[in-house]
Amino acid sequence: MLKHYLSVADLSHDEAIALLERAAILKEEWHIGVDQTSHLRGQTLALVFEKPSLRTRVAFEAGMTQFGGHANYLSANDIDMGGRESVADVARNLSRWVQCIAARVFRHQTVTELARHATIPVINALSDIEHPCQALADMLTLHEHYSDLHECRLAYVGDGNNVCNSLMLLGATLGMTVIVACPPDYRPHPDMLAQAEHLANEYEGTIAVTSVPEEAVEGADAVYTDVWASMGQEHEAARRRPVFEPYQVNAHLLSRANPEALVMHCLPAHRGEEITADVIDGPQSVVFEQAENRLHVQKALIVQLLEAGHL
């Protein structure tokens, strides 16, 4: 039974499928105007954010409103976890007032410590190791275009960062083929890669890493990239740029993929760096479908956690 969602690896294969199916239903209901306000009426979600956000924050806040609940946004200035107040005390206090916590943090240890001391569900809304809500939205987007994800080949090109880690883990859990292309010094976290390979063996998927972007993209059904310097790494941007330039997703690289391959990006994007404007704004791009699907998977996730016996 799912108690917290700190890592994609918290989900079994069946739980991941059920969550995506529920998100798809909620999305269909939302588009046809079904009233969903009875789902979480009177419930509150605390958004504990050490980092700024557009998609994550708005999707959680809008989702809680659509479900008849409320989201309470708490920035680093409001709490200062580990400074003015310990992470453990923040968790204990919030557990007395709200029904769920979504935390967007710099260090993954912060979200695991919140979960350790909270008596309510904790969701990892982004950490330095994973971005598990983004991965759910990505897989919902892929499933809307490819009915059998087991047959889907996803190429990720760029930095082996938190988004990459979560994509590998969820892709492996769903039995997909995920090929990562990144510079040798920017490979995915070794523990995440090993965990993804283990899951791929269990669910008959494939995980591979190469330093050659053309190898990853060859025959791909979807080509995914992310910024070369993530939030908190801005001081490394100038040093990273020449290393990552061969990994830009442009029309030439995309031509190696299947003709109808999807173009994916978790946003925000730096057009002209990790991806060219003609590709991200072109007809194969589904980046705003991914962004919308953050709303639906996060709604499904909150309901799933609260129904697991935490209310």
Between CA 169 and CA 300 the distance in angstroms is 19
| 308 pLDDT higher than 90 | no
- What was the pLDDT predicted at 161? 97
Whether residue 309 is predicted with pLDDT greater than 80 in this model: the reply is: no
- Residues 205-231, mean pLDDT to the nearest whole number: 95
Identify the structural domains of the chain with CATH numbers, from first to last: 8-131+294-306 (3.40.50.1370), 134-290 (3.40.50.1370)
- Known catalytic residues are 104, 131, 134, 226, 266, 294
What's the CA gap between 165 and 105, in Å, rounded?
Answer: 16
Closest CA to 59 of 311, 297, 303, 310: 297
* pLDDT attached to residue 310: 46
pLDDT at residue number 83? 82
Average pLDDT over residues 220-240: 85
Question: Rounded to an integer, what distance in angstroms lies between the CA atom of residue 120 and that of residue 104?
Answer: 16
Above pLDDT 70, what percent of the chain?
98
Q: Mean pLDDT of all residues in the chain?
A: 95
With bands split at pLDDT 50, 70 and 90, how would you rate the model's confidence at 236? confident
pLDDT for residue 190 is more than 70 = yes
Quick one: angle between helices 287-307 and 13-32, nearest 10? Answer: 110
> Which pLDDT belongs to residue 231?
64
H-helix or E-strand spanning residue 262:
strand 262-265
Residue type, position 130, single letter: E
pLDDT-derived band at 311 (thresholds 50, 70, 90) equals very low
- Which residues lie below 8 Å from residue 24, measured CB to CB, with a gap of 6+? 140, 143, 144, 296
Supply 21's token pair.
């199916």
- The two structure tokens encoding residue 176: 């997909």
Average pLDDT over residues 202-214: 98
Using CA atoms, how far apart are residues 69 and 47, in angstroms rounded to an integer? Answer: 13
Query: Which has the closest alpha carbon to 188: 107, 130, 234, 109?
Result: 130
